[in-house]
Amino acid sequence: MIWFDLVTPKSVLFFIPIIKEIEKRGRKVLITAREGNGYSEVVELLRLYNMEFVNRGEFGGACLKDKLHASIERQKALMEFVTIYDIDRLVCLCSVDANRVAFGLGIPVINFYDIPLSDYNTNFKKALPQARLTLPLSTRVFKPFVVPDEIFLRFSLDEEQIFDYNFIDPLIWLKDFKPDFEYVKKVLNPYNLDLSKKLIIIREEEYKSSYVDKKYPILYEALEEIHKTTNSNIVIIPRYESSYLKEEFPFATILEEKTIIQHLLAYADLFIGGGGTLNTEACFFNTPTISTRSFICHYDKYQIDNNLMYWVNTKEELLQKVYTLLESKKEEKENVFLQMQLNISNMVDDILK
């Protein structure tokens, strides 16, 4: 049995095609997930895509002590649960809890990771905690072409343990995706928006994650001015709980229900994101994209260098870029993502060998 531990929304989207290919080959799969107060995106996505899973443990929140306590408790819960099954390997996006349990039980660990550092060079002072706690435990590791092998070698892996793939992660679930404006209307109509206005989609940074130093303020400082000066529909996709967003930004639409957000990204006039995955998805759809993330990682740098995304560091830079991009027409340009090579079957071969 192949064990997948899915603890982020991205891991759900990334692994669904891989899980389906593995099941198609007659192999059994076990999926574990986690939830938590103000953090339900993972389980909502799994339900949205009709994936069977078992919840074990919770998200610890923003406080380091709470994170550690939740992690210890989750490891205990996972250990007791997975020993019921005959598991021959773990596959995950560097889930700390699953890595520790699998390593402790002698289960081979296969990690996928596209962001070992919050840096696009090789500054190991910016190594992510997840990378430090997981990559050295890997039996095999898979990474996109934009991340240098050197980084993984410095995490004490040998060359034969490192497997490249020739695409940036969101391509695996976007390649055959067909945007539908009727779906956009269905999602937004209950909010009584004037859909003839420009549509700006907003996503916060993962400010509760251990690899983000603090809540980066420029997006929050600029939103009211963007609203007043652009006369656009501003739709915020909450990353955590949504109540404080409603209080702080009463002029914005806060999406409550879990939706297939890629439809909105494809038809947005502008996307402003503080994270990684949705930024890349917006770039895939050729939607003008501004990153307000507090750092630039390797795949961010690739998108910036290919003029797919703009990074801003101050409120003034953000406002200027918003005005420039909203005034210009959406450019028709060649989709560099579709030139990338995606072969799920070969990837599964390497997972199972």
What are the pLDDT digits (tens) for 50-94?
999 999 988 787 788 988 999 999 999 999 999 999 999 999 999
Tens-digit pLDDT string for the chain (353 aa): 999 999 999 999 999 999 999 999 999 999 999 987 767 889 999 999 999 999 998 878 778 898 899 999 999 999 999 999 999 999 999 999 999 999 999 999 999 999 999 999 999 999 999 999 999 999 999 999 999 999 999 999 999 999 999 999 999 999 999 999 999 999 999 999 999 999 999 998 764 444 444 455 788 889 999 999 999 999 999 876 777 888 888 999 999 887 899 999 999 999 999 989 999 999 999 999 999 998 999 999 999 999 999 999 999 999 999 999 999 877 777 889 989 999 999 999 999 99
What tokens does 217 get?
Answer: 């303020």
**pLDDT given for residue 329 in this prediction:** 74
> Alpha helices, DSSP H only, in the chain?
9-24, 41-48, 64-82, 96-105, 129-134, 149-154, 171-174, 181-188, 218-230, 243-248, 262-267, 277-284, 298-305, 315-327, 344-352
Q: Please write the tens of the pLDDT for every residue from 297-319.
A: 999 999 999 999 999 999 999 99
CA angle 168, 272, 285 (to 5 degrees): 45
Cα–Cα dist 320/316, whole Å: 6
By the 8 A CB rule, do 264 and 253 touch? no
Alpha-carbon span 86 to 89, nearest angstrom: 9
Separation CA 79–CA 224 (nearest Å): 47
Closest CA to 204 of 250, 158, 151, 249: 249
What is the per-residue burial (b if ≥16 Cβ within 10 Å, else e) of 115-147?
Answer: bbbbbbeeeeeebbebbebbbebbebbbbbebb
The angle, 0 to 180 degrees and rounded to 10, between the axes of the packed helices 344-352 and 9-24 is: 80
The total of other beta-carbon atoms located within 10 Å of residue 215's CB is: 14
Residue where the block lists tokens 């040998």: 158
Distance of CA 275 to the CA centre of its chain: 7
